[in-house]
Amino acid sequence: MAEETIFSKIIRQEIPTPLLYQDELVTAFRDIAPRASTHILIIPNTLIPTVNDVTEADELTLGRMITVAKKLAAEEGIDENGYRLIMNCNDHGGQEVYHIHMHLLGGKPLGPMLAV
C-alpha cells in the first residue's frame, strides 16, 4: 500500500486549501508554485502513486480528471486560446508528489512542450 501524501491531506481538508472542484472521484486546487497565470492541479481522491500504477478500475477517475480540466479551463477563461494538460511519471518525468496529478496550465502562450 502506498503511503499518504500531502494531496491526501488536502482532499480531506486536513490542510486547508481553497478547492476549485471536488466530487467523489477527483479534487482540484491551485498549485502553490504556479508556472503559468493559471496553474491548477487535478488529483484523484484515491491514492495512485504513479501512472505506472493505474489499472482499468481507474479509467472512470482518469476520464473525470480530463472533463474537470475542461470545465475549469472554461471557468478560468482559458479554453478559447488554449491550455496544456501535463502528467509526470517518476523521477525522470519530473514527478515530485507520488500521488498522480494533472497540471492544467494556461493564460499565456506556453511555448514548445520541451525546451531541449
Question: Which active-site residues does the annotation give?
Answer: 101
Q: How many residues does the chain have?
A: 116
> Could you give the CA distance from residue 91 to residue 93 in angstroms, rounded to a whole number?
5
Dmax (CA) for the chain in angstroms is 41
Q: Which residues contact 61 (CB under 8 A, 6 or more apart)?
A: 25, 26, 44, 45, 46
> Could you give the CA distance from residue 57 to residue 113 in angstroms, rounded to a whole number?
30
Helix (H/G/I), strand (E/B), else coil: 67: helix
- The single-letter code of the amino acid at 42 is I
